[in-house]
């Protein structure tokens, strides 16, 4: 089987993320919207418990703070 290299974008840029917090279940839900093939699409979402949400925020902050 031949492995072919994909040309062009291999990802779809996220245009918006809706965030919802369910205090009863202590869960954060992230609902991304992304742009692909000339249209916006909604993602299925991602549910994180409170601790994992804080870890995700810390990882994003760390990635953004890297100086080139």
Residue 7 counted as domain residue: no
What is the full per-residue pLDDT of the chain (68 aa) written as tens digits?
566 666 766 777 888 989 999 999 999 999 999 888 888 898 888 999 999 999 999 998 998 897 65
- Inter-residue contact 46 to 27 (CB < 8 Å): no
Q: Write the CA distances from 41 to 11, 45, 48, 49, 60, integer angstroms.
A: 13, 12, 21, 25, 23
Residue 52 counted as domain residue: yes
Both tokens of 13, joined, read 């840029």
Residue 56 counted as domain residue: yes
Structural domain harbouring 50: 14-65
Strands (E), the chain: 14-22, 27-36, 39-42, 46-49
pTM greater than the 0.85 cutoff: no
Residue 9 counted as domain residue: no
Instruction: Name the CA radius of gyration of the chain, rounded.
Output: 16
Count up the domains in the chain and report the number.
1
């Amino acid at each position: 089987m031949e492995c072919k290299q994909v040309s062009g974008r291999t990802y779809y840029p996220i245009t918006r993320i809706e965030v919802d917090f369910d205090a009863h279940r202590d869960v954060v839900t992230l609902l991304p919207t992304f742009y692909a093939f000339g249209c916006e699409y909604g993602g299925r979402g991602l549910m994180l418990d409170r601790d994992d949400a804080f870890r995700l925020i810390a990882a994003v902050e760390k990635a953004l703070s890297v100086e080139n």
